[in-house]
Structure 1
C-alpha cells in the first residue's frame, strides 16, 4: 500500500484528479481537522462546522474531473468552507441585497462575482443589525462610523456626557459582534 504523507499538496491534488483515492484520503487526513476548527470558529456550532467540511470534501470527491485549482489546495479548501458558511447565512434568509455596493470588500480576485454577491449580502446583514439597534445607540454609532466624529464631538452634538457616548459605542460593538458572529464582525471592522 502506497503512502502519500510525503507528497506535497500539489502532487496530491494532481494524483487525486487522476483518480487516486489514496491521494484523496491523504488530503482529507491533512485538512479535515484544520477545516473543522476553522468552520467551528466562524459558526460556533459543531454540527454545522462538521457539515460544512463534509460538504466540501464530498463535492471534491464527486467532481474530481471538474476540479481546476487556480490557487493552493489549502487556499481552495478554506475558501470553499467560507463559501459554504456564506451559503448557510443566505439559506437562513438572514441576508438581503445591499444597496450601497462596494462598502465592505474582502481581498479576492475581481473575477469572482459570485463571492462579491455574497459579500454584498453580508453587508446587508450588517446594515440590518445596525438598523435594529435602539435609536440612541444607532445614532451614536452612525455618527462615529459614518461621520468619524470623536466621542467628545458626539457628546457635544447630542448634548450628552462623553462617558455615555463611550458606553453606547461599546454596547453597539458588542451588539454587532453578538448578532453577526466574529467572522462578519471582523470583516466589517477591518474594512469600513
Structure 2
C-alpha cells in the first residue's frame, strides 16, 4: 500500500477523484480527530460529535464525482461539519418551540424530554442569578444580552462612560460564571 502522508490535500483530492480509493484512508486519518474536536467543542456531546464526523466522511465518500472544492479540503470538511451542527441546533430549536407551544406529547423517558427539562432548569437558574445581580449591573447586562446594544449605546443611554459599562459587563459575566459553574456558563454562552 502506498504512503500518502506526504501528499498535499489538493494532491489527495486529485488522486481520489481519479478513482484511487486508498487515498480516502489518508484523508480520513488526517482529519478525523480534528473534526471530532471541532464538533465536540460546539455540541458537547460525544456521540453526536462522532455521528456528525462520520456523516461528513460518508457524504464525501458517496459524492466523489460531485465534489468541487472552491476552498481547501480542510475548509470544506470543517464547513460540512458546521452545517451538520447547525442542523442539529436547528432541530433542537424546533423541539424547544414545539414544547413551549403546549400542543404536544413527549414520551417522559425520551432524550428530548430529558433535554427540555434540563434546559428549562438551567434557564431558571440563569434567570435567578441575573435577578440577584446589583440593579445597575443587571440593567447593563440586560441591555447588552437581551436588547443587543453596544457598549457605547448602553453608556449613552444610561449616562455612563463606556469604560464603566465594560467593567460592569465583565463583573456580570464573572458573577454568572462563579454562580453557575464553568460548564453551565459555557453552554449558556454557546446557546
TM-score in terms of structure 1 length:
0.59
Unaligned segments of structure 1, at least 5 residues: 97-128, 156-162, 185-192
The answer to whether residue 82 in structure 2 is matched with residue 82 in structure 1 is yes
Relative to structure 1, is the Cα distance of residues 180 and 48 closer, same or farther in structure 2, using a 3 angstrom cutoff? farther
CA-to-aligned-CA distance 1:55-91 (integer Å, 9 cap, x gap)? 0000000111101110000110111111111011012
Larger Rg: 2
Corresponding residue for residue 99 of structure 2:
none
Corresponding residue for residue 48 of structure 2:
48
Q: Measure the CA separation in 2 of the matches of 1:147 and 1:60.
A: 41
Corresponding residue for residue 149 of structure 2:
146
Unaligned segments of structure 2, at least 5 residues: 97-122, 161-166
Count, aligned residues: 141
Does the 8 Å contact 1:69/1:76 carry over to 2?
A: yes
Q: Measure the CA separation in 1 of the matches of 2:86 and 2:43.
A: 10
Does the 8 Å contact 2:56/2:77 carry over to 1?
A: yes
Relative contact order (alpha carbons < 8 A, sep ≥ 6): 1 or 2 greater? 1
Q: Measure the CA separation in 2 of the matches of 1:30 and 1:68.
A: 20
Runs of 4 or more above 2 Å deviation: 93-96, 132-145, 147-150, 163-181
TM-score in terms of structure 2 length:
0.59
Does the 8 Å contact 2:39/2:49 carry over to 1?
A: yes
**Quick check: which one's helix share is greater?**
2
- Root-mean-square deviation over aligned CA pairs: 3.6
Q: Measure the CA separation in 2 of the matches of 1:164 and 1:146.
A: 14
Q: Measure the CA separation in 2 of the matches of 1:169 and 1:140.
A: 11
